């Protein structure tokens, strides 16, 4: 998706949304969500493909329902996400669970039909106890990872995700102990990963598959790079997938095993399919040799990625009458926290990187792009007691649909005793 296509809000639409739902709020672009889903479903494969939406990217039930209606299934990362997907109407058998935490209701999850991938020896043991003699998947750390930062790298010796690849014999012993048939190998190397590393890990995982004769499905997770700002590059799924499909064909020729393939995109589907609509609520500067600051009524309570990753998001000012004059600003959030900065240096959350944009005035709208994935679901919601922001769907016909109300203070306090 071109960066230009991600800037889907003009002043008229933004003003309508702000008047109807107030700011800050998340705005999802239904047309963009559908476009990305169709691209994911076209991922090259040799003997069958299942695309699972990594629902941790954004968990609103309307998003889950939309992707499911388009043919995507679900990748859940906790027992709570499993329940959430089922409450959205998605059948258990179309949900796959790969979780860092052993579910307390594992037996219930397994008996419902959810496909389970054991991500540690303890999980494999506990699965064997509650479901002996059944089929199961295993998440394996293939020994190599990649990510846009060290914090998004979930493969290799520094990662706790999955069972280390050199422990294949112990995996077999544990499975044999409980009569388990290992039918899926699951792996994920990181978010924003290098396509060349992703392809290399595919080869490594086929070596792992070869060690388990009953495996009929290889799940390679997601992690495809998405350009949120100019200068970044997006992964071409056809380019990355074609050689992997060829590897699976070659594996079939050697072994007679025609592996089904699964991917779990999250960022790819959501990143540029949504924006946060905020308002410039104050301005200040630190003198002629310092910085000019724009203060928004949003920030890390809606978008945490810049503060923890140094992630870059397209930011623009909208006014009723466009201004030709520009200025360089540090855009900061509303939290009483020095790290609540939306324009950090690339990859460096501690650094500041002024952005040139239309000269702003208090009351202008500010659009923070690339806010679809790991924003509404991964914010510091309720910090400084700010309520969780509403979510709005900009439908293909131009209408607006509220898909989550703004949280109230009463809702924030309701569990306090």
Residue 148, pLDDT score: 46
Sign of CA dihedral 384, 267, 99, 308: negative
Residue 204, pLDDT score: 82
Sign of CA dihedral 27, 30, 31, 34: positive
* Local structure of 144: helix, strand or coil: coil
Residue 189, pLDDT score: 64
Q: Do the Cβ atoms of 189 and 198 come closer than 8 Å?
A: yes
Residue 156, pLDDT score: 65
* Local structure of 319: helix, strand or coil: coil
Residue 328, pLDDT score: 97
Strand partners, 343: none
How many CA atoms lie within 13 Å of 121's alpha carbon, on the beta-carbon side? 11
Domain annotation for the chain: domains and CATH numbers: 43-265 (3.20.20.10), 271-412 (2.40.37.10)
pLDDT digits (tens, 9 = 90+) for 248-266: 999 999 999 999 999 999 9
Contacts for 224 with CB less than 8 Å, ≥ 6 apart: 193, 195, 198, 234, 235, 237, 240, 265, 267, 268
Q: Do the Cβ atoms of 314 and 370 come closer than 8 Å?
A: yes
Q: Do the Cβ atoms of 198 and 240 come closer than 8 Å?
A: yes
Residue 153, pLDDT score: 40
Residue 232, pLDDT score: 85
Query: Which candidate, 267, 226, 275, 315, places its Cα nearest to that of 2?
Result: 226
* Local structure of 279: helix, strand or coil: strand
The percent of residues above 90 in pLDDT, for the chain, comes to 80
Residue numbers of the chain with a pLDDT score lower than 70: 1-6, 144-157, 189-195, 198
pLDDT digits (tens, 9 = 90+) for 315-334: 999 999 999 999 999 999 99
Which contiguous run of DSSP H or E holds residue 38?
Answer: helix 30-41
Instruction: For residue 164, give Cα distances in angstroms to 151, 300, 307, 378.
Output: 19, 35, 31, 28
């Amino acid at each position: 998706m071109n960066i230009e296509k991600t800037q889907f809000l003009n002043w008229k639409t933004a003003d309508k949304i702000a008047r109807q739902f107030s700011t800050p709020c998340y705005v999802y672009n239904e047309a963009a969500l559908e476009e990305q889903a169709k691209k994911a479903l076209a991922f090259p494969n040799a003997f069958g493909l299942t695309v699972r939406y990594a629902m941790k990217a954004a968990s609103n039930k309307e998003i889950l329902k939309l992707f499911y209606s388009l043919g995507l299934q679900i990748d859940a990362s906790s027992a709570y996400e499993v329940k959430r997907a089922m409450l959205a109407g998605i059948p258990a058998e179309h949900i796959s669970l790969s979780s860092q935490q052993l579910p307390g209701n594992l037996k219930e999850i397994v008996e419902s039909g959810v496909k389970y991938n054991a991500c540690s020896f303890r999980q494999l043991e506990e699965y064997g106890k509650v479901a002996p003699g059944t089929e199961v998947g295993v998440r394996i750390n293939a020994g190599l990872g990649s990510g846009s930062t060290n914090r998004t790298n979930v493969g290799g010796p520094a990662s706790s995700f999955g069972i280390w690849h050199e422990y294949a014999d112990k995996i077999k012993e544990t499975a044999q102990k409980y009569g388990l048939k290992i039918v899926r190998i699951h792996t994920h190397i990181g978010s924003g990963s290098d396509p060349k590393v992703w392809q290399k890990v595919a080869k490594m995982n086929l070596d792992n598959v070869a060690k388990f004769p009953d495996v009929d499905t290889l799940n390679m997770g997601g992690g495809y790079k998405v350009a949120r700002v100019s200068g970044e590059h997006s992964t071409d799924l056809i380019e990355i997938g074609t050689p992997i499909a060829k590897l699976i064909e070659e594996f079939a020729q050697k072994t007679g095993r025609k592996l089904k393939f699964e991917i779990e995109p999250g960022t790819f589907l959501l990143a540029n399919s949504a924006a946060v609509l905020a308002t410039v609520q104050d301005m200040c500067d630190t003198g002629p040799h310092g910085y000019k600051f724009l203060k928004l009524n949003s920030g890390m309570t809606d978008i945490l990625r810049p503060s923890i990753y140094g992630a870059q998001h397209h930011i623009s000012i909208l006014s009723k009458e466009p201004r030709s004059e520009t200025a360089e600003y540090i855009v900061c959030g509303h939290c009483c926290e020095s790290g609540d900065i939306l324009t950090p240096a690339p990859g460096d959350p501690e650094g500041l990187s002024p952005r040139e944009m239309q000269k702003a005035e208090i009351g202008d709208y500010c659009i923070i792009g690339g806010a679809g994935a790991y924003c509404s679901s991964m914010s510091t919601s309720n910090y400084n007691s700010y309520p969780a922001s509403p979510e709005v769907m900009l439908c293909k016909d131009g209408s607006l649909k509220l898909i989550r109300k703004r949280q109230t203070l009463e809702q924030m306090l309701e569990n306090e005793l």
